[in-house]
Amino acid sequence: MRGLVLQFTLWTLCLMCTKSTMAQFDRDWKIFVVPFSHTDVGFTAPVPDVIEQHRKYLDDVVTYIDRTQSYPVESRFKWTIEVTWVLEDYLRNRSPEEIEALMDHVRAGRIEIAAMHFSLQTDLAGPEELVRSLYFAQALREDYNVPIQTAITNDTPGFTWSLAQLLDKSNIPYASLAMNSFLSDFYSTTTLPNLFRWESQNGDQTLLWRSLHPQWAYLEGAIWGFYSSYTAMERRITAQLDKLAADGYPYDVVLINAATGDNGAPNLKISENARMWNEEHSTSTIHVATFSEFFDYVEQNLASEIPVFRGDAPNWWSWSFAASSTKGFLESRATQTILPVAETFASIANSIVPGYSYPADELRRAYINNLLFEDHNLGALDPAGNAPFWERKMAWINAARHAGETILDEALDTWSSIITTDSDAAIVVFNPLPWERSEVVRLPLDDPHVAALPDFRVLDSETGAVQPSQILPSTNEIAFRADGVPPLGYKLFYLNARTETRPPPRALSSPTLENDAYRLEVDLATGGIKNIQEKMTGRELTRGDARFNQYVFNGTAPSGLQVVASDSGAVLQRLVLQGMAPGANTYETEIILPAGQRRIDFRNRYDKRPATNFEGVDFFFNFGLPGASLQYEIPFAHVRVFEDELSGFRTNHYAMQRWSIVTGHGTSAILATDGPAIHAYPAGRFDGNVRLLTSFNTGGTAYRAGVGPLEAGFSLTSQEGEADPVTATRFAYNFNIPLYARVLRPQQQGTTSAPKYTFISVENSTLQLSTLKRSRTGNGLIVRLFNPSSEAVEATLLFGPEIRRAAWTTLLESPIDYVPVNEQKIAVPFEPYEVRTIWLDLVTPTHVQATPPVKEILHLQQNFPNPFSRHTIIRYNLHQHAEVRLNVYDVLGRRVSQLEVADQPPGQYSHSWTGMNQLGLPLASGIYFYTLEATTPDGNRAWKNRTMILIR
């Protein structure tokens, strides 16, 4: 017996010794390992097969979670759904019982739903398109009462600056980024820590983690061995933790992206390995976790230690995506412009025209199709799958653009139908932007109401003044200047038969175009601009080498172009050259100089031949501005090249949205684009030569979407001194979003006879409209505005229809607080570079009173995670100013903890609770209740309570 006792004692000591030996790390590590599948749309298999695989994966996830509930809590299986596109499909194809089983796990914190619909090339997405990538997440919150806390964008080595603001304004506090090192020098050049608070240009912040490993990124779980044998995993984890310590990693907690592969299946091995590790190691615990569990731990334990970094992260892949799929990218850019315009006019038509139904479903599908094209994948793993993949990808973007154009046409036709005209045919000109505009409008002469007139003049319906007009014989159009078209509204112009003879059309006598602001000379051989002179200052804007608006293929410009059309009249001067160009079957360049405007437009059309070898197509704009600097627009922000990027993102290629500003020698030039957007420069050096990379091929990267008829449009203006982003924004959006016109028959009978009308105007403001839409619930309208200025503004919104109520909302339309309405106006303060969203209840002929979005004083969310063992987050929205008390009670009704007693303004709030009582002692496992009470200054009182479960 004594021998058995001795043997047992020695065995126990040996086990203790072994366990102690295994735990020889420099700190007690908390290893949060997050399993998920990286969604690569169409990469590993055809798209229908990929989505069907993910559907089955979620079934398996539910099974694995149930199977491991008897495991210790740290090693129970968990899963993160990387993109909501996968979940949207699951909800369409599973029974209510299966859906509820999955959502139960989400509410309990065993499954996390990440916020974004796809892993996007965020810098190439349009501003409103980025917002819509988060909309389905909000629908899930509301429909299933689930938390959405983390945004994930994987693979793509870059993330646009405004994402930090958009997430913060969507109540999404966390972001995880696992960036591919292919074609990227990020990991070899960056000094960014893995964990930091990322601050947007407007000052909002997101807690961000970037993956550890330069080669494995979202697959780094593999090099840690989580899906290997236990012996291999133990060896690899030890090596990785020792490396982190040697590299000076400062924390005791680390996050590991453990994707099972590109469209990989869930693997239970990770839980089995974690359980064995935790059984054999008394310290350094593996937590099979979700992303938000890691971030919640950081906020609870390390919040004051996290550094803040501010700047953009230009995408190392933007040149590859945009320039190797030129046709698709140009279609996407056009769609990003047309969809917000279409839904703006559809919202107005739905408000003022009885019988017009707002196309909510069609618009949502169009945005999703645009996002599908913007997904980061560029092709199939199997080269044989590239052609069908690109056929599908182009079908998405073509469908999105077609939907936008169809909705826009129907909305404008509907609005036009209610406008009364007199005895003359009329032109109604619509303005979708929030400022008044005076610009050139072109109409076809073969329109029946125009063709019926032997000759005519264009009259301003308000003043009766004759508008300058001119016939363009080569296009069979009339061009006229539409003055004073009001914001988000229309203005009428009449076609009045004229008795005097119209002067015959005139052609240019030389390759020189001139108006009050500029004189420019065109190189007839290459189509480039030799020089541009500012007439007021005499300053030359170009370098005189004809490399301005110059098409260049592998360093070679076109030659031998011929003049095929030219016009010179009261409205504009125009020159069109055609011929052959290297790399293209045909090439045409059109230069337009409008009268009375500081603006030069360039329109280039070419039929791109398929790529067979290394090649590149660029458009050059060589400015003669010594000491030039460059800044450019990105979604809801702008950056100074080489100054505003985060460490590791000096990429040689920079994706602008709609404008760039070149400033030098006391002059600024603003260059707007409606397509080509990739600035290409050697790292850290800008010499005033703007090179826009338009098409690029190396090793077969130019897919079928990179060839065929292509069009690249640009516009130029200039000013003395330094141009500001507000001026650049207005100029670029005027170029990208035209005035739309419809010809109305004489004596049309409608419900309005106003010569002009404004639905909404923005007074005393620099604000840019992102969109005007019906709310997601169909109740009221949503207007989203952006302040591109470095200055705070106090703008005023003035309404054509009567306004009952208005309310601030989150970016995703969740109500915050009412906005006071005063005599058809609301005051809307904006901080610099801020995006804000406002709900509107307008009195219109087609809508009864909308249900107010702010129904209650407060909204208390379910805590997350729930159940919990160490800490949980309690979030609530306060809709009115109130005195707030947040308390925790046990099942006997005894208060065990008071989390908040404060006087608080409207807003979103959160508290972390660690399961401690008021004395700081841990509470026992069990059911607890948390109650939120709010009392407003006028004595109104509200309270809500919810249940949570603590498991020790």
> What integer is the mean pLDDT of 812-833?
92
Question: What pLDDT is stored for residue 15 in this prediction?
Answer: 42
Residue 729 lies in a domain: no
Residue 661 lies in a domain: yes
Asked if 565 and 671 sit in the same domain, the reply is yes
CB 138 within 8 A of CB 97: no
Q: How far apart are CA 811 and CA 636, in angstroms?
A: 13
The answer, yes or no, to whether residue 823 has pLDDT greater than 90, is no
Question: Residues 642-680: pLDDT tens digits?
Answer: 999 999 998 888 999 999 999 999 999 999 999 888 898
Q: How far apart are CA 121 and CA 774, in angstroms?
A: 27
Question: What pLDDT is stored for residue 854 in this prediction?
Answer: 57
Question: What pLDDT is stored for residue 323 in this prediction?
Answer: 84
The answer, yes or no, to whether residue 782 has pLDDT greater than 90, is yes
Asked if 656 and 800 sit in the same domain, the reply is no
CB 882 within 8 A of CB 938: no
Reported as a pLDDT band with limits 50, 70 and 90, residue 82 is very high
Give percent above pLDDT 90 in the chain: 73
> What integer is the mean pLDDT of 165-187?
92
> What integer is the mean pLDDT of 485-492?
98
Question: Residues 168-178: pLDDT tens digits?
Answer: 999 999 999 99
Asked if 785 and 848 sit in the same domain, the reply is yes
Q: How far apart are CA 892 and CA 622, in angstroms?
A: 77
CA contacts within 13 A on the Cβ side of 131: 23
Question: What pLDDT is stored for residue 706 in this prediction?
Answer: 72
Question: Residues 290-340: pLDDT tens digits?
Answer: 999 999 999 999 999 999 999 999 998 888 888 888 999 999 999 999 999
Asked if 827 and 897 sit in the same domain, the reply is no
Question: What pLDDT is stored for residue 433 in this prediction?
Answer: 98
Asked if 95 and 31 sit in the same domain, the reply is yes
CATH number reported for the structural domain that contains residue 808 in this entry: 2.60.40.2220
Angle between helical axes of 326-352 and 386-416 (0-180°, round to 10): 30
Sign of CA dihedral 182, 188, 191, 196: positive
The answer, yes or no, to whether residue 9 has pLDDT greater than 60, is no
The three-point CA angle 359-360-364 to 5° equals 120
The answer, yes or no, to whether residue 528 has pLDDT greater than 80, is yes
CB 49 within 8 A of CB 380: no
Asked if 839 and 881 sit in the same domain, the reply is no
Coil, helix or strand for 51?
helix
Angle between helical axes of 386-416 and 360-374 (0-180°, round to 10): 150
Tokens 């539910």 correspond to what residue? 62
Asked if 634 and 776 sit in the same domain, the reply is no
CATH number reported for the structural domain that contains residue 651 in this entry: 2.70.98.30
The answer, yes or no, to whether residue 506 has pLDDT greater than 50, is yes
Residue 417 lies in a domain: no
Asked if 847 and 869 sit in the same domain, the reply is no
What spatial distance separates the first Cα and last Cα of the chain, rounded to whole Å? 38
Question: Residues 221-271: pLDDT tens digits?
Answer: 999 999 999 999 999 999 999 999 999 999 999 999 999 999 999 999 999
> What integer is the mean pLDDT of 26-52?
95
Question: Residues 426-482: pLDDT tens digits?
Answer: 999 999 999 999 999 999 999 998 888 878 899 999 999 999 999 999 999 999 999
> What integer is the mean pLDDT of 372-377?
93
Sign of CA dihedral 650, 653, 655, 661: positive
Residue 196 lies in a domain: yes
Asked if 224 and 301 sit in the same domain, the reply is yes
Question: Residues 597-609: pLDDT tens digits?
Answer: 999 999 999 999 8
Question: What order of strands is seen across the sheet that includes strand 572-581?
Answer: 562-568, 572-581, 584-594, 600-608, 708-720, 667-673, 659-664, 629-634, 637-640
Tokens 């050049």 correspond to what residue? 189
Query: Which among 836, 852, 868 is the end of a domain?
Result: 852
The answer, yes or no, to whether residue 6 has pLDDT greater than 70, is no
Question: What pLDDT is stored for residue 303 in this prediction?
Answer: 92
Among 637, 620, 704, residue whose Cα is nearest residue 331: 704
Q: What is the 3-state secondary structure (H, E, C) of 66-125?
A: HHCCCCCHHHCCCEEECCHHHHHHHHHHCCHHHHHHHHHHHHCCCEEECCCCCCECCCCC
Highest mean pLDDT among 177-191, 196-210, 501-515, 844-858 belongs to 196-210
Residue 279 lies in a domain: yes
Asked if 38 and 187 sit in the same domain, the reply is yes
The answer, yes or no, to whether residue 636 has pLDDT greater than 60, is yes
> What integer is the mean pLDDT of 531-558?
93
Query: Which among 802, 837, 852 is the end of a domain?
Result: 852
Reported as a pLDDT band with limits 50, 70 and 90, residue 3 is very low
Asked if 891 and 915 sit in the same domain, the reply is yes
Q: Is 97 exposed, middle or buried (0-12, 13-18, 19+ CB in 10 A)?
A: exposed
CB 538 within 8 A of CB 504: no
Q: How far apart are CA 902 and CA 906, in angstroms?
A: 12
Q: Which amino acid type is present at position 716?
A: L
Question: What pLDDT is stored for residue 847 in this prediction?
Answer: 62
Question: Residues 206-231: pLDDT tens digits?
Answer: 999 999 988 889 999 999 999 999 99
CATH number reported for the structural domain that contains residue 162 in this entry: 3.20.110.10
Among 370, 484, 470, 507, residue whose Cα is nearest residue 436: 484
Higher pLDDT, 469 or 22: 469
The answer, yes or no, to whether residue 4 has pLDDT greater than 70, is no
Angle between helical axes of 269-280 and 2-22 (0-180°, round to 10): 120
Task: Report CA-CA distances (Å) from 213 to 179, 436, 705.
Answer: 9, 52, 33
| 689-697 and 678-680 beta bridge pairing | antiparallel
Residue 788 lies in a domain: yes
> What integer is the mean pLDDT of 856-865?
81
Higher pLDDT, 438 or 497: 438
Residue 809 lies in a domain: yes
> What integer is the mean pLDDT of 489-513?
88
CATH number reported for the structural domain that contains residue 911 in this entry: 2.60.40.4070
Among 255, 253, 259, residue whose Cα is nearest residue 227: 259
For residue 558, whether the previous peptide bond is cis, meaning omega lies within 30 degrees of 0, is: no
CB 78 within 8 A of CB 133: no
Question: What pLDDT is stored for residue 315 in this prediction?
Answer: 92
When divided into structural domains, the chain yields a total of: 4
Q: How far apart are CA 911 and CA 886, in angstroms?
A: 9
The answer, yes or no, to whether residue 614 has pLDDT greater than 50, is yes
Q: Which domain range does residue 891 map to? A: 858-950
Highest mean pLDDT among 206-210, 611-615, 886-890 belongs to 206-210
Give percent above pLDDT 70 in the chain: 95
Mean of per-residue pLDDT scores for the chain: 91
Beta bridge pairs of residue 826: 797, 821
> What integer is the mean pLDDT of 863-872?
82
Query: Which among 289, 313, 337 is the end of a domain?
Result: 313
Least confident of 132-141, 398-407, 494-503, 698-707: 698-707
CB 461 within 8 A of CB 482: no
Coil, helix or strand for 426?
strand
In the numeric block, which tokens belong to residue 420? Answer: 């009364």
Asked if 689 and 773 sit in the same domain, the reply is no
> What integer is the mean pLDDT of 346-358?
95
The answer, yes or no, to whether residue 852 has pLDDT greater than 90, is no
Among 264, 289, 286, 271, residue whose Cα is nearest residue 67: 271
Question: Residues 548-573: pLDDT tens digits?
Answer: 999 999 999 999 999 999 999 999 99
Q: Which residues contact 721 (CB under 8 A, 6 or more apart)?
A: 666, 667, 668
Least confident of 55-69, 90-104, 751-765: 751-765
> What integer is the mean pLDDT of 533-544?
93
Reported as a pLDDT band with limits 50, 70 and 90, residue 1 is very low
Residue 672 lies in a domain: yes
